[in-house]
Structure formats: structure tokens, C-alpha cells
Amino acid sequence: MSRSTGAVAAGDRQTAEAGARILRAGGNAVDAVCAAAFAAFVVETPLCSPAGAGALLFGDVKHGFHLLDFFACAPGLGLEAPPKLDFHVVDVDFGPTVQQFHVGRGSVAVPGMLPGLLEAHRRAGRLPLAEIVAPAVSLARDGYVLGPAVQYVIDILRPIVSLTPGMRTIFGAEHGSPTPGSRLSNPALADFFAQLALDGDDLIHGPLFDALLHEFGPARGGLITRRDLASYRPELRRPLEVAAGDFVVLTNPPPSSGGALVGLGLQLARGLVPEGPAAHGCGRHVLEIANVLRTLSEVRVKGYDERLREPDAARRLFDPDALAELRATHQQLRVEHDLGSTTHISVLDSEGEAASLTMSNGEGSGHALEAFGIAVNNFLGEEDINPGGFHRWAPGTRMTTMMAPTVVLREGRPVLVLGSGGSNRIRSAILQVLLARIGSKLPLPEAVRAPRLHVEGERLWYEAAGLSVEAEAALRQSWPGATRFDAPSMFFGGVHAVGFDDDALIGIGDHRRGGEVCVVHR
């Protein structure tokens, strides 16, 4: 009888299969998540990129758990005066609304994705780097199948992905819009990954840095300097730990914004959100969750991001007096549509090692490193991570992010690995799945598929499919102007999760964002 040796959940079948291939070859969870990430750079290009950024939570009981932060830094180190920036607005049509995004060379932040993956592989990987990148090289060179979720994002971001010839080549848009099932390739990226396996850091610090400086430096309207690139380092942090009944939730600590909000939501929900499967989905349960999300929204607009950079920020946020004040705020409160080009990969192996990786490229700057087949980020142009206004970050500052890769422990053993894409909805998506799984005790697939909510200030968005008449009536009474989604939508994130059900490995890829899962047997 075969035995499960690992599971990978991701935003595309080809991404998950790349990770599963590495598990079958004897790799561990970190090997698998790195391989899946390289594959995602090929098959989920609008959502992530080697010139993007991410955060990885990994580890096991024996060696402990660590958060490797390789999110973007604000550029401009060594610049005496800012150049005239190539920074402009494009309109993106969502159907019901048109949203503006900021792109151009001046929207590019210092990327951390490749330094982060190589650091993770050095610290905890088992197989050679050449074996890790091999699935991605094959997909990029021999061709991959364009999934419907990715094609949907490409269509929405058409003004960005078709802005320059290099971008049109990467996204297969030279001759119109590709359709789901189209077979695309990226031979330049295949060559880059193959060379990366041989040269590693030398390739990054040499030709890649030179290309970034040439394309996105001050001479062409960007802010990237050689000092920015040379000084960038991934940062290893202790995960934020939050007690939740019999479980301990590990997630992204400050200065990340998302992990702490998830933790605060779990603390606030205790005693307020009814627990157990019988209560899940009733009017009170759904309304209490909506009120918790509303409180978290209020927290974020009251100097939250600034407090994350204070010394000992996590202890201050979770101090009993601070939590009591938060609960008081919540009691007083009771009575913009953003695509969020982010993706997530979760891996859990039979040895008990977990890896939870969230990645983003923003919506993309509209520019590419054409020789390498790499689309480049627009983190300086995303309103959600520039709350004080654009180009206000001091050069060299690690930008904050809503990314919240998460691992749940029970008796010290990882029993659930999850995370989500979805910009500012990441906190809502992860919190609701955690409450459904460890609070309402729903099976993992049901916890991920359950109808979702999101609150920003006085605005509520919700999915009606699967929501009880009683629950919807309660929401509409408290939020008469709520936005109703008739079907599950990628607006509400994409929680890709793996975990143990007793001793059986299970997983679920969130179909809101094309999610798939591969369980590996030997």
C-alpha cells in the first residue's frame, strides 16, 4: 500500500506538479516550494516574478520554524537628487468599475525574490539547485498550458502586459490575447534559470544587476542604484506566534502588516465568534466575523503600519491591555476593489517539514528584462503598500506587506500550512479559513470553499453562494450597501492549503485563483 510522502497546493496545476516532482525525487518541503516557485514564474507570470518579492515560513519540530523575509526595499540609496520619474497611470477595466494603477520604471522597487529563494535553498534545501530549477526550465523551454485563472488576470491587466514589446513577448500577446489552453513558452527565462543553476549568486550580482540598473536606473526614469542591489539581503525573523485554543499559529511578524492582523483577528474572535460545526454559517457567526474584519480595518487606518516598525512591535500589539482596548473598540463598532496580483504555495512533507511561500510582482511595471524573459514589479506604484503616498519610503527601507504565510502547530507538530494572494484581502481570507478549520472544525476543503467576506471601513463585500438566507439578511441589515458576489471570486483571495486530517495528508487549492493540489505517494 502506498504512503503519502508530501502534498503541494498552489495556484496552478503545473506549479503544484513541479513541487510534487521534487518530493518524489527525495527533496524536502523547502526544495519543493522552491521548485514550485520557479515553475510559477513561468506559468503564473502575472502574479509572481524573479524580479518580484516574497516571504517564506519554513521549518520543522527538530530545527524550529523561521520566517525568511525577502520583500522589496525602497530604492534610491546614494542618489543626491531624484530623477524625473517614468511613473504614470493606466486604467484597468474590471467591468463594473475602472481602476487606476501606477506603472513605469519609477514604480520598480528593489526586488528580493531570487536572493530569497537562493538563501532558503542554501539554508534548508537538500537537492542540487539544478534539480530544483529543472521543472521550470522544461516548462519555459518546451511550453506550458495557459490556465484559465492566469488568462483572466492577463486579460484584466491588458494595458500593463501589452505596454512594451518585452512584456508582450513574455505574455504571448504579440498577436492578440492568448486563450485558456494556449501553449506558451519563454525560452529566454529557460536559459536564465539553467544558467542560474550553474552560476547562482554570480549571475544575480553580475548580468542581472547590470540589466536592472540599465533599464530601471535614474538615467531612464527609475530609482534603482547599484548600492540598492548590492546591499539587499533577505532577513531571517522569528515567526509571530499566536495561541488559538489547542493550536499555535505561526505567521509573518512585523514589519509585515498581514500576519499581525491575522493574529489580532484570532485573538478578537475568541469568545465572540461561535465555534463548532453546528454554529458555522449561522447569522450570528457570519455577522461576528464581519464585525471582526471591520475592527481590523479600523486598526489599520489608525497608525498601524507605523507602529509595526517600533521596537518590540509584536509584544506591544499583543499586550493584554492593548488587546483589551481593541476589544473595546470592537464593541463600539458593532451594530477599493484591488486585484492583488499575488500567489501562494503550501508544502507539507511526511517528515513534518512545512513550507509556506507567498509571492507577488504587484501588477507589473509594464517593463521587462527582455533578455531574461522577466517581468518586473511595480511595488512603488501600489497604493496598499504605500499608505503615506508614493515615493515616501526612505531609500533602503524594507516595505511592508500584507503577505502572511502561515503554519499551524498542534503539540508542536505542523498540522496545517496555508497562505493566500489577494492584496489587502489576504488578512480576511486567511483569518476566515483558520476560524473555519480550527474554530468551527470544518474539513479543510470545506473551510477553504466556504463563502467569504471582506470589510474596509464601512464597506462590505461578500460571496452569496453557500451563504444561508439568515446570514445574508444579517449582513444586509448591518451593511445595506454591501457588494454581493453571486459566485466565488478571486477578489477574495486564493487560500492554497495542505494539512493533516488525523494521519492522512490532505490539501486544497482554492479555485477562486485556479488552485490545485498534488499529494505525493510512494
* DSSP one-letter string for 500-521: EETTEEEEE--GGGT-EEEEEE
Q: Which residues contact residue 306 at a Cβ distance below 8 angstroms, ignoring those fewer than 6 apart?
A: none
Residue 418: strand pairing partners: 406
Is residue 397 among the annotated active site residues? no
Which has the closest alpha carbon to 378: 84, 158, 102?
102
Instruction: Name residue, grid cell 544587476.
Output: 209
Interatomic CA distance for residues 192 and 48, integer angstroms: 16
Contact 384, 424 (CB under 8 A): yes
How many of the other CB atoms lie within 10 Å of CB of 302? 10
Contact 216, 108 (CB under 8 A): yes
Cβ distance 76 to 218 under 8 Å? no
Q: Which amino acid is at 39?
A: A
The residue among 59, 73, 362, 378 whose CA lies nearest residue 235 is 73
Residues in the chain: 522
**Could you write out the DSSP letters of every residue in 367-399?**
-EEGGGTEEB--GGG-GGG-TT-TT-SPTTPBP
- Give the integer Cα–Cα distance in Å for 66 and 23: 21
**Nearest to 466, CA basis, from 440, 481, 490, 447:** 447
Bridge partners, residue 417, by sequence:
407, 498
- Among 342, 358, 400, 401, the active-site one is 342
First to last CA, the chain: 9
Report DSSP state, residue 73.
Answer: B
CB neighbours of residue 482 within 10 Å: 17
Show Cβ contacts of residue 360 under 8 Å, excluding neighbours closer than 6 positions. 47, 48, 52, 53, 54, 341, 342, 343, 377, 379, 401, 403, 421
> Which residues, including other chains, have CB under 8 Å from residue 87's CB and lie 6 or more apart?
102, 103, 104, 105, 106, 107, 221, 380, 381, 390, 391
Could you tell me the three cell numbers for 269?
474572535
SS3 353: coil
With residue 32 as reference, give the H or E element that holds it: helix 29-43
Angle 136-138-144 (CA atoms, 0-180°, nearest 5)? 85
Cα–Cα distance for residue pair 495/511, rounded to 1 Å: 9
> Which residues are known to be catalytic?
342
